[in-house]
Amino acid sequence: MIDIAVVDYGMGNLRSVSKALEHVATDKKVVVTSNPQDIAEAERVVFPGQGAMPDCVRELDSRGLREAVIAAAASKPFLGICIGLQLLFDHSEEGNADGLGIFAGQVKRFSAVDMHDVQGHKLKVPHMGWNEVYQSQSHPLWAGIENGERFYYVHSYYVAPQETALVAGYSEYPKRFTSVVAKDNIFAVQFHPEKSQHAGLKLLSNFVQWNGHS
Amino acid sequence: MALAKRIIPCLDVTAGRVVKGINFLELRDAGDPVEIARRYDEQGADELTFLDITASSDNRGLILNIIEQVASQVFIPLTVGGGVREVEDVRRLLNAGADKVSINTSAVLNPQLVADASGHFGSQCIVVAIDAKQVGDHWEVFTHGGRNATGIDAIEWAKKMVALGAGELLVTSMDRDGTKVGFNLALNRAISDAVDVPIIASGGAGNLVHLVEGVQEGGADAVLAASIFHYGEYTVRQAKEYMRECGIEVRL
């Protein structure tokens, strides 16, 4: 029996994600897998991802994982991370790629032109580093995490959900952008909990204990 | 409130030990890499950078082993550089637990490596390290740990690397490295203004004022330092508290 399946579609460093999950769930079996059967059987699923969205979609399909991911997202505790959040949406500006369409909305790029902080300094893209995450709804995965806690980000694109009810957290760069969405058994984050020290491990620990109901 | 400026302790590793030199020479031992990484993590370091400074084939296995050990205990971003020559080297380091890989000499010898590596693994994990030295009225790129002049202008090089897919630039002033007289602020500012990606200032930090200057005057998004932390002069936390007092956004 697999407790936690980390979906491997060849994009990015999944070792960090699995190490962090093993660290918070020493008694659970964590498997990094590209086998749809493992994903179907797992009690809970983590959907990470790095790199360019069109490549991610292509790799996901070439491994025959699309249906398994959609089925998991419909039925069991499901944590999307970074591109794993963006892929849940209809469409991305990055390479004009279609996502899985689980949520309605677009994935948009930070415009490096004309982005300045309050002191007038140029803001860089990618948005890289530790930023404050504000919780816009209460959720079991926020348990023990302070509102405004910093998490580690590295991304150039962000999600713009059509339904504001999906938004569970946001950050500012310099404008507010959605960085966490939640609905039923799905919780998905733009930042990297596996690289966000104590706060990140706390969120992962909450996830491995979550029953999938908000 | 906003994105925090980062403090990145740098661990120069050779033969399985952390060392620190002056102007890239005169190495002295600073301790065990895993122990030091854990200490900086506890102190609140925002990331860690490991530079495999000899990067011989013997050392290659050692650094992978060190990264594996650190990555299973320390949950902040890890960058590894030194001796990265091909896409396969990048893959090995990422698989060992590195989050970003820093490319220096090989980017000069083969700029296509930066494009291939960022195309494969994403710009977010490709850092290009630029070792620059003042030559006449401009800054020139040097390679091989500072031994070889390239004739390439550092600012033009920075723009080219970003165009090829570098997600971040680690800018080291070789004139300042290990001297503790402060970052080369003009160099950092010039590169920071020339590109859109984040810049890490490196080389020369000797006290906390230097870190503040690196951000406020050098326009750096992150500051990298080694000696001031390795020998216990300051903790990362003290550095961050001082930066905050100076009005810089930090993670505390």
Task: Establish if A92 touches chain B: CB-CB under 8 angstroms.
Answer: no
* Chain A positions in Cβ-Cβ contact with residue B97 (cut-off 8 Å): 13, 15-16, 19
For residue A181, what pLDDT is reported?
98
CA separation for the pair A73, A85 (Å, rounded): 11
CA separation for the pair A78, A188 (Å, rounded): 8
Task: Establish if A118 touches chain B: CB-CB under 8 angstroms.
Answer: yes
- Return the residue of A nearest to B247 by Cα: A119
Please, what's the largest Cα pairwise distance for chain B?
A: 46
Cβ separation B77–A195 shorter than 8 A: yes
Query: Angle, nearest 10°, between helix axes B208-216 and B236-245?
Result: 50
Find how far residue B90's CA is from the centre of its chain.
Answer: 16
Structure tokens at B175: 């004139």
Structure tokens at A78: 């499901």
A18: in domain: yes
Distance from CA of A149 to the nearest CA of B (A): 9
Residue pair A101/A124 in contact by the 8 Å Cβ criterion: no
For residue B25, what pLDDT is reported?
56
Task: Establish if A132 touches chain B: CB-CB under 8 angstroms.
Answer: yes
CA separation for the pair A165, B86 (Å, rounded): 46
Cβ separation A172–B46 shorter than 8 A: no
A214: in domain: no
Cβ separation A117–B2 shorter than 8 A: yes
For residue B237, what pLDDT is reported?
97
CA dihedral A95, A100, A103, A107 (to 10 degrees): -10
Q: Which residues contact A175 (CB under 8 A, 6 or more apart)?
A: none
Residue B87, SS3? helix
Exposure of A128 in the CB half-sphere (CA atoms within 13 A): 26
Q: Which residues of A does the annotation mark as catalytic?
A: 82, 192, 194
CA separation for the pair B239, A2 (Å, rounded): 44
What tens-digit pLDDT sequence spans chain B (252 residues)?
589 999 999 999 988 899 876 555 567 787 899 999 999 999 999 999 999 887 555 667 778 999 999 999 999 999 999 889 999 999 999 989 999 999 999 999 999 999 999 988 889 999 999 999 999 999 999 988 778 899 999 999 999 999 999 999 999 999 888 788 999 999 999 999 999 999 999 999 999 999 999 999 999 999 999 889 988 889 999 999 999 999 999 999
Closest CA to B80 of B58, B105, B101, B57: B101
Pairing mode, strands A89-92 and A103-109: parallel
Output Rg (C-alpha) for chain B, integer angstroms: 16
Distance from CA of B147 to the nearest CA of A (A): 31
Cβ separation A118–B2 shorter than 8 A: yes
Please, what's the largest Cα pairwise distance for chain A?
A: 54
- Return the residue of B nearest to A18 by Cα: B72
A12: in domain: yes
A165: in domain: yes
Cβ separation A122–B124 shorter than 8 A: no
Cβ separation A13–B98 shorter than 8 A: yes
Total domains in chain A come to 1
What tens-digit pLDDT sequence spans chain A (214 residues)?
899 999 999 876 788 899 999 999 999 999 999 999 999 999 999 999 888 888 899 999 999 999 999 999 999 999 999 999 999 999 999 989 999 999 999 999 998 777 888 777 789 999 999 999 999 999 999 999 999 999 999 999 999 999 999 999 999 999 999 999 999 999 999 999 999 999 999 999 999 999 998 7
A90: in domain: yes
Nearest-CB residue to A51 (from B75, B121, B197): B121
Count of all residues that appear for chain A in the document: 214
Distance from CA of A50 to the nearest CA of B (A): 7
> Does the complex come out with an ipTM higher than 0.90?
yes
Distance from CA of B28 to the nearest CA of A (A): 30
> What backbone phi and psi angles, to 5 degrees, belong to B226?
-125, -70
Pairing mode, strands A134-135 and A103-109: unpaired
Nearest-CB residue to A174 (from B2, B94, B198): B2
Instruction: Count other Cβ atoms within 10 Å, centred on residue A104.
Output: 12
CA separation for the pair A30, A127 (Å, rounded): 30
Nearest-CB residue to B3 (from A15, A129, A194): A129
Cβ separation A124–B197 shorter than 8 A: yes
A204: in domain: yes
For residue B54, what pLDDT is reported?
75
**What CATH code is carried by the domain that includes residue A198?**
3.40.50.880
Domain assignment of residue A19, given as a range: 4-209
Nearest-CB residue to A15 (from B97, B124, B196): B97
CA separation for the pair B115, B102 (Å, rounded): 13
Distance from CA of B143 to the nearest CA of A (A): 26
Instruction: Tell me A70's DSSP state.
Output: H
CA separation for the pair A99, B142 (Å, rounded): 43
